[in-house]
Amino acid sequence: MTNYRRLYDEISKPAYAGMTDAEIVAALNAQTAVRRRVPISDLQARAMESGVYTALRVAVATPGTPEQLRAVCQTVLDLANARFTDVDLDNAASQQMFGALRQYGVITAQQAAAIDALATTGYTSRARALGLGAVTVEDIERSRIVPQLDALRMRLAAGYNQAVALLDAASDAPTWDDLIAVVGGA
Burial of 162 (0-12, 13-18, 19+ CB in 10 A): middle
Residues 48 and 92 in one domain: yes
Domain count along the chain? 2
Residues 17 and 1 in one domain: yes
CA atoms within 13 A on the CB side of 129: 14
Residues 30 and 68 in one domain: yes
Q: Which comes out higher in pLDDT, residue 160 or 174?
A: 160
Q: What domain range includes position 36?
A: 1-144
Residues 186 and 118 in one domain: no
| Contact of 77 with 59, CB cutoff 8 Å | no
Of 43-47, 55-59, 95-99, 171-175, the range with the lowest mean pLDDT is 171-175
What DSSP letter does each residue of 38-53 carry, written as one string? EEHHHHHHHHHHHTHH
184 pLDDT higher than 90 = no
3-state secondary structure of 171: coil
Residues 5 and 78 in one domain: yes
Residues 17 and 29 in one domain: yes
| Contact of 126 with 11, CB cutoff 8 Å | no
Residues 103 and 174 in one domain: no
Mean pLDDT of 11-31: 96
Which pLDDT tens digit goes with each residue over 78-119? 887 778 899 999 999 999 989 999 999 999 999 999 999 999
